[in-house]
A and B are shown apart, each in its own frame.
Chain A
Amino acid sequence: MLSFILIILVSFVFTGIVIRTKSLASGRKGPGIFQPMKDIYRLFKKGAVYSDTTSIIFQIAPTIYFASIIMAILVLPFGHSKGVISFSYDFVFFAYVLAMGKFFNIISALDTGSSFEGMGASREALFSMLAEPAFFILMGSLALLTGYSSFQEIFMTFHFGSYTSYAIGALATFVLILICMVENSRMPIDDPKTHLELTMIHEVMILDNSGFDLGLILHGTNMKFALYGALIANLFMGNLPLYYSIPLFIFIQSIFAIVVGLLESFTARFRMSHNAQFILVLSSVSLLVFFSVLMVMGKFN
């Protein structure tokens, strides 16, 4: 339960920190860190407009998307305390419950019948598909290393005993940050700020959503950020007592938000055709983790 509460709390300020970092990096003052939440609150107070061409799918999809993220958060542990739901191979559940939310997002985009949204849906489907192996190879390797199969047990046992585990931790962090960027359609895969439908991935899929639904989707992104931040934090918390782990959690989440902000400030977005190559690189880094795990376990004799 602790992880659920903390993740929700962090999600309120996460994008705020990202935007603030970006503003400062470009020499501007920028809005306050609660501004994204204020915008979402404004959207929550509004009704939604539905076009005549859409069906029930379009109306339920944002809610399912939002619910799927909540569901995924419930699985995440906090250091040694279990998540609300915890069972063997729950990381598979975690990945596919998120995928289900995304699936509904994609079919609701197709439901609008707009040529833009179809384009965005196809891109989003492709890129998430490519990112999937990276996540599973990573989690599989960690499971292999620790000998356990649920999030909580894996993270409990995964601690920094040797230099190799430092290396694995660093690689895992790298992979998780970039998976998070792909999943959330952020730079350098997608530019969340652009007004150009033709270059968008995620943004173009939600062009027709408005009011309450849009609020749900936007806050979904905030929560997804906090969710991946929590995964990363879990890599480092291990068995620490709460009075160390809670500040550490918040610290790691803030650093993560600042890294995202900096990443978005100082690079240009990839060409769309390079995205696929880039995402496949993540899988190969995960493979690197896998091989180092095999090495640690003495499988290469």
Chain B
Amino acid sequence: MNYIEVNNNQRIHLSTIPILEYDNFADVIVNFLKSDIKYHCVNYFGYLEKENIKLICCIADDSKHSINVLSSIVKSSDKLQSITPNHYAMHIFEREIHENFGIDFIEHPWLKPVRYSFNRADKNSNIANYPFYKIDSEELHEVGVGPIHAGVIEPGHFRFICNGEQILHLEIQLGYQHRGIEQLILEKKNLLQRTTIVENIAGDTVVGHTVAFAQAMESLCGFLPSEALQFERVLALEHERIAIHTGDLSAICTDVAYQLGSSVFGRLRTPVINYFQQWCGNRLAKGLIRVGKTNFQFSDNLAEKWLEVFNAYKPDFQEMCDEIFDLPSILARLEKTGTVSTETATKIGTVGMSARASNLNRDIRFSHPSGYYNKLNYMPILGKSGDVHARAKLRKDEINTSIELITKMLAKYPKHNSNEPVIGVPVADSFVISLVEGWRGEICHCAITDDKGELKMYKIKDPSLHNWLALALSVRNNEISDFPICNKSFNLSYCGHDL
């Protein structure tokens, strides 16, 4: 067997992952990715193991709801045949491995730095000498934006090559936010400290990342979360989705200078995120998700409050949506702006909401459901056109579906027992992969323990890692003044990418 098939959140012994020769390893990956659209690579990373580097590749199989894991052992001085020319979606993983270990991938189009991690192989390469794509034309001009964002959100540098008002090329350089999250998780031995770090991977996906972490840790410890716990996590995930999507709709309206939509959606978002405050004392849901337990049990009182909040929310939301998806001046801005075709989305491995807007079915809730999602039989919503309008509309539809979903869940939900089991310690030499559909897309956490049961490797992948390229491609041949609206329609995370 060339690979081992695991389920989402299934713990396996590290030695059961087949170790292949690199050439064979690359072939297997290419064959998977080429054979069918249902395969996509959810994570591909390396880690040091006794002077050598162990590469682990996880390929999700959407139809069998499983993940195929395979590995290979290489040396940092090796020159390996790149997979990217055969499948572009792999470019970012290979760049990351190259950056961290100095492995040369032959025929990789451009082994550009990803984030200048502190433990990178080549210390001479830094942000000051970043190799930008250059033009050599008198006719074209370059516009550099950032790294300080005009709205002071997060740092990132965008360099446009324009022909007048038309964008020919956009290069996005990130890495300013790199904090060494993966390393920090290994260094801090305390579970609570680790959870707090995970909560801060991306401030807008607190629930998403923490649920992925909690599920990975629980699987490592062989702990089965109670049904009530699983229910709470799904509720929090969907609630986070509603909150952020509403905020995004407001931001999209702001960027097309439609004041009414901007202020109405802004107002609607507030009670939604304030609900988290009522539940766990933090508007961003920090502290809500904990490994193996919860400090804030869901109650009838909270259920009632939730219904109250959304009874007020729904009519106003509906009215405003009817307005913006019907107003010619807005449609003129949204439609056919920032289009990502299904073909492009598939090629570059777009995930999550951005993929679904381009009619590419990537939804972990459907393909690899875990916990309470198994009971819900969630069906993904797909957009068609892949433009800003499709992404805005998808947000509206997902909000409505999430509200429906939670309302249904609240009709009859599991309660906590008084004597719930306590989580144990991680099992030695294990590997676990945890996939969660955050509001932005698939979040993938992989954990590996050593022979003492200590975490040896913790790998995090935020959906932004793939989707930034989708943004860069979507703005080509658009006007430069439409870039902000395209950017907002993706709403990608800088720190989720930079870790």
B407 to chain A, nearest CB (A): 27
A119 nearest CB neighbor, chain B only: B143
Contact among A22, A27, A187, A272 with B165 in the assembled complex (CB-CB below 8 Å): A272
Contact among B151, B256, B480 with A198 in the assembled complex (CB-CB below 8 Å): B480
The answer to whether A27 touches B267, judged by C-beta atoms less than 8 angstroms apart, is yes
The answer to whether B260 touches A199, judged by C-beta atoms less than 8 angstroms apart, is no
The answer to whether A269 touches B257, judged by C-beta atoms less than 8 angstroms apart, is yes
CA A144 to CA B484, docked complex, whole Å: 46
Q: Does B481 contact A (CB under 8 A)?
A: yes
The answer to whether B482 touches A268, judged by C-beta atoms less than 8 angstroms apart, is no
- Residues of the B chain whose Cβ atoms lie less than 8 Å from the Cβ of A81: none
Q: Does B307 contact A (CB under 8 A)?
A: no
- Residues of the A chain whose Cβ atoms lie less than 8 Å from the Cβ of B260: 25-26, 265-266
CA A194 to CA B488, docked complex, whole Å: 13
The answer to whether A269 touches B333, judged by C-beta atoms less than 8 angstroms apart, is yes
B264-290 to A contact mask, C-beta < 8 Å, 1/0: 100100000000000000000000000
- Residues of the A chain whose Cβ atoms lie less than 8 Å from the Cβ of B142: 115
A257-301 to B contact mask, C-beta < 8 Å, 1/0: 000000011111111111000000000000000000000000000
- Residues of the B chain whose Cβ atoms lie less than 8 Å from the Cβ of A153: none
- Residues of the B chain whose Cβ atoms lie less than 8 Å from the Cβ of A27: 263-264, 267
A22-40 to B contact mask, C-beta < 8 Å, 1/0: 1001111000000000000
The answer to whether A194 touches B257, judged by C-beta atoms less than 8 angstroms apart, is yes
The answer to whether A268 touches B480, judged by C-beta atoms less than 8 angstroms apart, is no
The answer to whether A198 touches B330, judged by C-beta atoms less than 8 angstroms apart, is no
- Residues of the A chain whose Cβ atoms lie less than 8 Å from the Cβ of B254: 194
Max count, chain B CB within 10 A of own CB: residue among A25, A194, A271? A271
Contact among A26, A194, A197, A268 with B333 in the assembled complex (CB-CB below 8 Å): A268
Q: Does A193 contact B (CB under 8 A)?
A: yes
Q: Does A188 contact B (CB under 8 A)?
A: yes
B112-148 to A contact mask, C-beta < 8 Å, 1/0: 0000000000000000000000000000011111000
Q: Does A116 contact B (CB under 8 A)?
A: yes
The answer to whether A195 touches B257, judged by C-beta atoms less than 8 angstroms apart, is no
- Residues of the B chain whose Cβ atoms lie less than 8 Å from the Cβ of A193: 257, 259
Max count, chain B CB within 10 A of own CB: residue among A28, A187, A269, A270? A269
A221-261 to B contact mask, C-beta < 8 Å, 1/0: 00000000000000000000000000000000000000000
Q: Does A196 contact B (CB under 8 A)?
A: yes
A27 nearest CB neighbor, chain B only: B263
Q: Does A191 contact B (CB under 8 A)?
A: yes
The answer to whether B480 touches A197, judged by C-beta atoms less than 8 angstroms apart, is no
Within 8 A of A (CB), among B233-267: 253-260, 262-264, 267
- Residues of the B chain whose Cβ atoms lie less than 8 Å from the Cβ of A273: 165, 479
A150 to chain B, nearest CB (A): 39
- Residues of the B chain whose Cβ atoms lie less than 8 Å from the Cβ of A264: 257, 259
A272 nearest CB neighbor, chain B only: B481
The answer to whether A268 touches B151, judged by C-beta atoms less than 8 angstroms apart, is no
The answer to whether B263 touches A197, judged by C-beta atoms less than 8 angstroms apart, is no
The answer to whether B259 touches A25, judged by C-beta atoms less than 8 angstroms apart, is yes
The answer to whether B480 touches A119, judged by C-beta atoms less than 8 angstroms apart, is yes
Given known A-B contacts A25-B259, A194-B257, A268 and B330 have beta carbons under 8 A apart: yes
A290 to chain B, nearest CB (A): 29
Within 8 A of A (CB), among B57-104: none
The answer to whether B263 touches A28, judged by C-beta atoms less than 8 angstroms apart, is yes
Max count, chain A CB within 10 A of own CB: residue among B141, B145, B150, B480? B150
B261 to chain A, nearest CB (A): 8
B327 nearest CB neighbor, chain A only: A268
- Residues of the B chain whose Cβ atoms lie less than 8 Å from the Cβ of A22: 259
A26 to chain B, nearest CB (A): 4
CA A270 to CA B337, docked complex, whole Å: 13
Q: Does B329 contact A (CB under 8 A)?
A: yes
Q: Does B332 contact A (CB under 8 A)?
A: yes
Given known A-B contacts A198-B145, A198-B481, A199-B481, A265 and B259 have beta carbons under 8 A apart: yes
- Residues of the A chain whose Cβ atoms lie less than 8 Å from the Cβ of B144: 115
Given known A-B contacts A26-B263, A187-B257, A267 and B151 have beta carbons under 8 A apart: no
Contact among A115, A198, A268 with B484 in the assembled complex (CB-CB below 8 Å): A198
CA A265 to CA B329, docked complex, whole Å: 12
A25 to chain B, nearest CB (A): 7
Q: Does B483 contact A (CB under 8 A)?
A: yes
CA A266 to CA B264, docked complex, whole Å: 12
The answer to whether A274 touches B332, judged by C-beta atoms less than 8 angstroms apart, is yes
Contact among B141, B257, B482 with A115 in the assembled complex (CB-CB below 8 Å): B141
Given known A-B contacts A115-B144, A197-B145, A271 and B479 have beta carbons under 8 A apart: yes
Within 8 A of A (CB), among B319-359: 327, 329-330, 332-333, 337
Given known A-B contacts A28-B263, A271-B332, A272-B481, A191 and B143 have beta carbons under 8 A apart: no
The answer to whether A191 touches B479, judged by C-beta atoms less than 8 angstroms apart, is no
Within 8 A of B (CB), among A95-144: 115-116, 118-119
The answer to whether B333 touches A196, judged by C-beta atoms less than 8 angstroms apart, is no
- Residues of the A chain whose Cβ atoms lie less than 8 Å from the Cβ of B165: 272-273
Within 8 A of B (CB), among A147-188: 187-188
Given known A-B contacts A115-B143, A195-B151, A197-B150, A26 and B329 have beta carbons under 8 A apart: no
CA A22 to CA B327, docked complex, whole Å: 18
- Residues of the A chain whose Cβ atoms lie less than 8 Å from the Cβ of B479: 271-273
- Residues of the B chain whose Cβ atoms lie less than 8 Å from the Cβ of A194: 254-255, 257, 484
B141-178 to A contact mask, C-beta < 8 Å, 1/0: 11111000011000000000000010000000000000
CA A268 to CA B254, docked complex, whole Å: 9
CA A74 to CA B233, docked complex, whole Å: 69
Within 8 A of B (CB), among A8-25: 22, 25
B152 nearest CB neighbor, chain A only: A195
- Residues of the B chain whose Cβ atoms lie less than 8 Å from the Cβ of A28: 263
B253 to chain A, nearest CB (A): 8
- Residues of the B chain whose Cβ atoms lie less than 8 Å from the Cβ of A195: 150-151
- Residues of the A chain whose Cβ atoms lie less than 8 Å from the Cβ of B332: 268, 270-271, 274
- Residues of the B chain whose Cβ atoms lie less than 8 Å from the Cβ of A116: 143
A179 to chain B, nearest CB (A): 20
B319 to chain A, nearest CB (A): 13
CA A187 to CA B330, docked complex, whole Å: 13
- Residues of the B chain whose Cβ atoms lie less than 8 Å from the Cβ of A271: 332-333, 337, 479, 481-482
B88 to chain A, nearest CB (A): 27
The answer to whether B257 touches A198, judged by C-beta atoms less than 8 angstroms apart, is no
CA A27 to CA B257, docked complex, whole Å: 16
The answer to whether B259 touches A270, judged by C-beta atoms less than 8 angstroms apart, is no
CA A28 to CA B266, docked complex, whole Å: 12
The answer to whether A199 touches B263, judged by C-beta atoms less than 8 angstroms apart, is no
Top 4 nearest A-B pairs by Cβ distance? A191-B257, A269-B257, A26-B263, A268-B256
- 5 of the cross-chain contacts (CB-CB < 8 Å) are A264-B257, A265-B260, A267-B329, A268-B256, A271-B333
Name B residues whose Cβ lies closer than 8 Å to a Cβ of A.
Answer: 141-145, 150-151, 165, 253-260, 262-264, 267, 327, 329-330, 332-333, 337, 479-484
- List 15 additional contacts besides A28-B263, A198-B480; criterion CB under 8 Å: A26-B260, A26-B263, A26-B264, A27-B267, A193-B257, A195-B151, A197-B150, A198-B484, A199-B482, A264-B259, A265-B260, A266-B259, A269-B258, A271-B332, A272-B482
